[in-house]
Amino acid sequence: MWVFTIIVQNTLAVLGPATEKRAEWRATLIQLKSQATENDADRLVALLEAVIGLLDANGNPGGSGINPTGICAKTWQSIMITLLRNGLKGVFPFHE
């Protein structure tokens, strides 16, 4: 599931050293959310909404209220664990 890996890596990258790519990444996430909505992928839509909210909050997950399941849960947990361990150092490069 490479798309989930890219979600994690790019989100962490734009919250860290690649901040200049944040608007571009946010726009990509909105496109993905639109596609997921069209395909009735409710769990993915919820994950993408949470990630977009995280970007809007500059990496502060406070009160996101997300309760994902399956691969979406693993994706969200990967983002949160990395942020907790490393702060916003940006441990991943941004993938175009």
Confidence of residue 72 (pLDDT cuts 50, 70, 90): confident
pLDDT class of 73 with cuts at 50, 70, 90 = confident
Range of the domain at 20: 2-86
The candidate with the shortest Cα–Cα distance to 53, out of 11, 18, 13, is: 11
Residue 91 forms part of a structural domain? no
Residue 54 maps to a domain: yes
Q: What is residue 93's predicted lDDT score, i.e. its pLDDT?
A: 54
Domain contains 38 = yes
Residue 35 in domain: yes
Q: What length does the chain have?
A: 96
User: In this structure, is residue 77 part of a structural domain?
Assistant: yes
In a domain, 95, yes or no: no
* pLDDT value at residue 64: 62
pLDDT tens sequence across 13-65? 998 888 999 999 999 999 999 999 999 998 899 899 999 988 998 887 775 66
Whether residue 91 has pLDDT greater than 90: no
Positive or negative: CA dihedral 69, 72, 78, 83: negative
Distance of CA 75 to the CA centre of its chain: 8
- Please state the pTM of the whole predicted model: 0.81
- Into how many domains does the chain fold? 1
- Confirm if 50 and 60 have CB atoms less than 8 A apart: no
Question: Is residue 96 included in any domain, yes or no?
Answer: no
Is 14 a member of any domain? yes
Q: Judge whether 8 and 80 are in contact, CB under 8 Å.
A: no
